[in-house]
Structure 1
Amino acid sequence: MSDIQSIKIISTEVVNVPKSHVVYVIQVSTPIRTWTVKRRYSDFISLHSELKSSVGKEPPGSLPAKHWSLIKGVGDEKLIRERRILLEQYLILILTNKDPSFRQSYGFKDFLSVPSNTNPSHPSSVNFTSQSWLLEHTSLQNLLRSARSALLKRDALASMGDSVASRSSSIEAKKILKEASQRIHTLENALSLDSMASMGEGEKKRRYEMVEQLKIERETLNRMSEVGIRTSTSAFSRASEPSGSSSSAFAPTGSTGSTGSNGGSLNSLPGGFPQGQQISIGRTFGVKSPPQETSETRPLDDRGLLQLQVQKMDNQDDQLKELSKLLQRQKQMGEEIHQEIGEQNDLLDEIESGVDKTGRKLGKTKRELNRLG
């Protein structure tokens, strides 16, 4: 795993399960990726004790003192903000300390959910945990969005005539897609490692489907990058052609001149066709054609025509009622599908919450085992 470049506590959240407490959202950045991890104050205390035990000396920083107002409740925004600043300074001191033993310890990396390489020469052997796997998947989704944005920017710049910037965006998109391909392969291989053996078959199948979605998105973006720049230059070139060349596409050879409804020649109108190139027009736009008799209306008098019109309108009303009923049924089906999807999303949120809770417990157990070892 690449060295960590920065650590920031970007926000705080109040969690009511199992009881109200504050969690700190930590953003970790490396040269190739960025992810977030949530930790509560008790996790910082466990980290401090583990660093002291594993390294054999006090960590370079000290934790802020406990406050009864934060233990009893979570409504003191000022104390939460002050503690957030002090906890961020604590992590930065560990990261920038001259002694690398603190930041290289297993407890510190596990606290930040840093994936560890069992074999640095083969990136496919990254040993993910259940939680860090999900973080990597989210990071890959953001990476693919960046590639799509770069391709759209390439097309926009090309339409504006800025070929240099357009080519730069194209190169950036291809570079992002190359990195995404390697990381998707790593993410897929991680599902077969021993660290994922405790995962249920249903959850593992769901994660394989998540990887397939990433592959589909990557292939779509690869095709976009290989097809080339999409611009509307062909439409501009057609619009810029002289009227003579465009009219020749519509005028058949040997066609005779035509007059408008007012008796004037179409060639004499402003913007009309050039001399020598005339077209025949069967109907002038905006002019109503005279009514035509049919076999159904020909034998009817005025009263019969009125009755026929009323009958036709009644038939149309009946058809509209049937169409309205059909649309109502489709609307009802859509609402039921929406409700079902909402319930399934709630179930998925509960499962994800349970997975995160289990991941935290496993992390705490690992730290305890490391302290005992």
Structure 2
Amino acid sequence: MSDIQDITIISTKTVEQPKVHTVYFIQISTPTRTWTVQRRYSDFVSLHAELKSSVGKEPPGTLPAKHWSLTGRLGDEKMIRERRVVLEQYLRLILTSKDASWRQAYGFKDFLSLPTTSSSSGPSTSSGSYSGPQTFTAQSWLLEHTALQSILRSARSSLLKRDALANMGDSVGSRSASVEAKRTLKDIDVRINVLEGALAGLNLGEGEKKRREEMMDSLKVERSGLGRMAEAGVRTNLGLGPSSAGFNRNQGPSSSSGFSSTASSAFAPPQGGHSSAGGSMNSIPGGWGSGPNSAIQSGRVFGSSTAARNQPPQETAETRPLDDRGLLQLQATKMTDQDDQLRELSKVLLRQKKMGEDIHGELAEQNDLLDEIESGVDKTGRKLGKAKRELNKLG
């Protein structure tokens, strides 16, 4: 963070979609590079709330007040210029504050799109921030592996929530989900390294040790894929076809989020990736190694957890008659149903938005009528005063 030399809002732009708002172009300069990010006012509000929540106290600066106007002032150049100055001052106060807690917060780094260094390059990375066990038994190792799988599922859920909220126009909620997913992925790196390092100290047979090494490879592949998915930005036009495996549902690059064709590699399994048995990523819906071509299968228990590895597999009435391809199709169908539910929710929100706009128009009309009545009352008052003065003269 100390490498940042300057933060400047260099320009603004009024955007019409998904609804009219102002975008602020923020330029960040370091000794080696300069880049620009686009943020709107609601992103600043989300950043302020995130900093207050993570640090536990108010940031050094204050945001400009949000203007609620029945006449609409989104295109008011004077207001935009004033707000631009205050927002730039807000960022600079955080950057130059003696208390570094705000600018070291993950939310601030993510807001400025600061490049992050991967902590998964070796087992010695930031081990001081890990408060869990450093040594494991054979059973506790499996429990920790299951816990890490659960965290990865939570991170994937946050990323999908980020995309869904962005498509519905909820930029604040989308950004909060993105920050939560990135924080989760950052925190899990140390635990993966510790778990991998502990594997060498376990007294296991050659076959079991090899199997757990494959489990770790799958876990790291899944973590890497989610990391690329998080860095790629919001995906739009979500869809899931029958041939889609897992969550690879990207239909094309999104110009609004800067999503390039190279980012699609974040959702594809790498060449030569391992597929593990038992507690592999097969138990994670959408994880690699869950397709019909997997080298090793651990049982066709849809949505199974590795914690139930020692229990007999239990089929359901829905999955029992299905083969591997049928299970993939069932997963695709369920994801499509969830997308349909999101679209229905979006329609409800759009109707509520339309109602709000109608109420806004009605209030504006009523205010105009009140202004006319007030003007008429003033005129009548002046006439009565004039008549009274004339009567006094006659009396």
| TM-score band w.r.t. shorter chain | 0.3 to 0.5
TM-score by length of 2: 0.33
Larger gyration radius, structure 1 or structure 2: 1
State TM-score, norm by structure 1. Answer: 0.34
